C-alpha cells in the first residue's frame, strides 16, 4: 500500500493543489518562503539547510502545534546543549509564529509537501539525525525516507481522535508500517496508546501525558488595550468567543445579545479559528442591532459592542483580556473542541458545549474540578452567560478551579524529553 501511495500521490497532489494555493492567498501569515513546500530554496536558504547536518528536525503543523513545539524546545535544548535545531511548519500562520518566537539559533522552514522528490531534496540538504513530529502528522514519505537515511524518528504528544481511529483501523495495512517506523510514539493517554497499538501492534508506544498542560504563560503577558473599542476596562465585562467554527458564531452572538439586554456592560470579542473567514463574519455582524469593528481593517476610531479579531497570533492575549470564554468548536453540533488548557492556565471562566472529543483528557480534568461550565445544548448559553456575567465571585471560582486542575496534570514535557534523550 505504501508503494501505491508513492505512485498515486503526485496525481492526488495535483487535485489538491488549487485548494492549497487558494488557502495560501486567503490565509494570513508568513508566505515569502512558501516555495519551500515544493522543494524550492534560494541560495541563502539552501546554504542554511546545508549547515544543519546532524540536526534535530522538529515538525509542527499550524499555530497550536507550533506553540507546543516552542514550549518543548526550551526544555529539549537545555537537555541537548549545542544541538542544531530545525523547526518546520505546514501552514503560513504556523510559520509566522515560528519565525517570531523560535529561540535564537533555531532555523525555521516550511515542511515539504509529502511528494518523494520534495522530501528527498530537503533531507539531502539538511541531513537530520533526528525527526520529532508533533501530535498526528503522519506523512509516510517524510517518516520512512528519514528513517531510511538513518534518522531516529519520534512522534510526540500523540493522539488519535474518535474520528481518526476509524480510518486508521480501516487502512491498518497502510498505517501499521508507518507507525512502526517510529522509534517511540509518546502518547497523551492510555486510550491513545491502546488505539495506536490496535493499528500497529509492533509499535513502541509510551504514555507521557499532554505537553499542553506544561505550556508556560509569561507572567508579564499583557492584556490587549481595548479602551478605544470598549471603553474603560473596569466598566465592561468581556466575552471572548475563541477559535470558533461555522455555524456556532450565530448561536454565540444570539446568546450575547439576549444577555446584553439585561447586562448592558457586556462586550463581545469574536476570534474565528480561521482568520480568512473575517469577510463572511463581518457581513453577518453588520446585520445585528449593534456596532461591530473588524480588527484587521486597522485601528478603531470609536467604541463598538463587538470586536471581530480576524488576526493571528493574538489569541493568548485575548484570553488574558477576557472575563468569560466561550470555547469554539463545541456548539451547534461541533464536538471536537479547541485547546481549553490555555484559558484554564489563565484562570478564566470557560463555557463549552457538551463534548470536546479532541481534548477529552483536559475537558474531563476541568469538569471533575468544577473548572468549566459544560452545557447540554445551545439553548442554555444565554442563561449561562448571564449567570457568569452577574457574579464575579462565580467567575473567579471557576477560573481558580480550572487553573488548579491544569496544575495537577503537568510533567508530560519533562517526561517526553527524557524519553527522547534516552532513546536517541
Contact 274, 358 (CB under 8 A): no
| Average pLDDT of span 106-131 | 96
Residue 238 confidence (pLDDT) = 97
pLDDT at 323 over 90: yes
pLDDT band of 163, cuts 50, 70, 90: confident
Alpha-helix residue ranges (DSSP H) falling in 91-138: 92-101, 116-126
Residue 20 confidence (pLDDT) = 82
138 φ, ψ (degrees, to nearest 5): -95, 95
Q: Out of 75-84, 89-98, 212-221, 246-255, which region has the weakest mean confidence (pLDDT)?
A: 212-221
What whole-number distance in Å separates Cα of residue 386 and Cα of residue 258? 9
Residue 217 confidence (pLDDT) = 85
Express each pLDDT in 372-392 by its tens digit: 999 999 999 999 999 999 999
Domain 29-210+411-423, CATH among 3.40.50.11720, 3.40.1110.10, 3.30.2130.30, 2.60.40.1150: 3.40.50.11720
Contact 2, 144 (CB under 8 A): yes
- Cα dihedral: 311, 315, 320, 324 (round 10): 100
Phi-psi region of 157 (alpha: psi -120 to 50; beta: other; left: phi over 0): left
Express each pLDDT in 257-277 by its tens digit: 999 999 999 999 999 998 889
pLDDT band of 184, cuts 50, 70, 90: very high
Residue 423 confidence (pLDDT) = 76
pLDDT at 8 over 80: no
Share of the chain above pLDDT 70, in %: 100
Q: Please give the mean pLDDT across all residues of the chain.
A: 93
pLDDT band of 197, cuts 50, 70, 90: very high
| Average pLDDT of span 144-169 | 94
Residue 421 confidence (pLDDT) = 85
Residue 216 confidence (pLDDT) = 83
The domain ranges of the chain are 29-210+411-423, 227-407
Q: Which helix (H) or strand (E) holds 176?
A: helix 172-180
pLDDT band of 313, cuts 50, 70, 90: confident
pLDDT at 154 over 80: yes
pLDDT band of 299, cuts 50, 70, 90: confident
Decide if 29-210+411-423 and 227-407 have a common fold: yes
Q: State pTM to two decimals.
A: 0.90
Share of the chain above pLDDT 90, in %: 82
The superfamily in CATH containing domain 227-407 is Glycogen Phosphorylase B; (3.40.50.2000)
- Count CA atoms within 13 Å of residue 73 on its CB side: 27
| Average pLDDT of span 159-177 | 92
299 φ, ψ (degrees, to nearest 5): -90, 135
Higher pLDDT, 11 or 211: 211
pLDDT at 1 over 80: no
Amino acid at each position: 500500500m505504501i508503494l501505491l501511495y508513492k505512485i498515486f500521490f503526485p496525481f492526488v497532489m495535483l487535485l489538491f493543489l488549487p485548494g492549497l494555493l487558494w488557502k495560501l492567498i486567503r490565509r494570513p501569515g508568513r508566505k515569502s518562503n512558501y516555495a519551500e513546500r515544493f522543494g524550492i530554496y534560494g541560495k541563502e536558504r539552501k546554504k542554511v539547510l546545508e549547515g544543519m547536518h546532524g540536526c534535530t528536525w522538529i515538525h509542527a503543523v499550524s499555530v497550536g502545534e507550533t506553540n507546543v513545539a516552542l514550549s518543548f524546545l526550551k526544555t529539549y535544548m537545555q537537555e541537548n546543549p549545542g544541538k542544531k535545531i530545525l523547526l518546520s511548519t505546514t501552514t503560513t500562520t504556523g510559520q509566522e509564529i515560528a519565525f517570531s518566537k523560535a529561540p535564537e539559533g533555531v532555523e525555521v522552514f516550511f515542511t515539504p509537501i509529502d511528494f518523494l522528490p520534495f522530501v528527498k531534496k530537503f533531507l539531502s540538504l539538511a541531513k537530520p539525525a533526528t525527526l520529532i513530529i508533533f501530535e498526528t502528522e503522519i506523512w509516510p514519505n517524510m517518516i520512512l525516507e528519514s528513517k531510511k537515511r538513518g534518522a531516529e524518528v519520534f512522534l510526540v504528544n500523540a493522539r488519535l481522535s474518535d474520528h481518526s481511529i476509524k480510518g486508521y483501523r480501516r487502512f491498518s495495512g497502510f498505517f501499521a508500517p508507518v507507525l512502526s517506523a517510529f522509534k517511540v510514539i509518546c502518547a497523551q493517554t492510555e486510550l491513545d496508546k491502546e488505539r495506536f497499538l490496535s493499528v500497529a501492534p509492533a509499535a513502541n508506544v509510551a504514555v507521557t501525558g499532554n505537553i499542553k498542560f506544561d505550556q508556560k504563560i509569561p507572567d508579564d503577558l499583557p492584556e490587549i488595550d481595548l479602551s478605544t473599542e470598549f471603553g474603560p476596562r473596569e466598566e465592561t465585562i468581556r466575552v471572548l468567543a475563541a477559535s470558533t467554527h461555522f455555524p456556532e458564531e450565530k448561536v454565540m452572538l444570539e446568546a450575547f445579545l439576549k444577555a446584553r439586554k439585561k447586562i448592558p456592560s457586556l462586550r463581545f470579542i469574536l476570534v474565528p479559528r480561521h482568520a480568512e473567514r473575517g469577510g463572511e463574519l463581518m457581513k453577518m455582524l453588520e446585520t445585528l442591532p449593534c456596532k461591530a469593528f473588524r480588527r484587521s481593517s486597522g485601528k478603531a476610531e470609536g467604541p463598538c459592542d463587538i470586536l471581530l479579531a480576524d488576526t493571528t497570533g493574538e489569541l493568548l492575549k485575548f484570553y488574558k483580556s477576557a472575563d468569560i470564554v466561550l470555547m469554539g468548536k463545541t456548539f451547534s453540533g461541533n464536538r471536537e473542541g479547541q485547546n481549553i488548557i490555555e484559558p484554564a492556565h489563565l484562570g478564566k471562566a470557560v463555557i463549552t458545549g457538551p463534548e470536546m472529543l479532541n481534548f477529552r483528557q483536559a475537558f474531563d480534568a476541568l469538569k471533575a474540578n468544577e473548572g468549566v461550565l459544560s452545557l447540554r445544548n445551545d439553548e442554555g448559553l444565554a442563561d449561562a452567560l448571564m449567570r457568569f456575567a452577574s457574579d464575579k465571585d462565580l467567575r473567579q471560582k471557576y477560573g481558580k478551579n480550572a487553573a488548579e486542575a491544569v496544575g495537577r496534570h503537568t510533567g508530560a514535557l519533562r517526561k517526553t524529553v527524557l524519553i527522547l534523550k534516552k532513546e536517541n
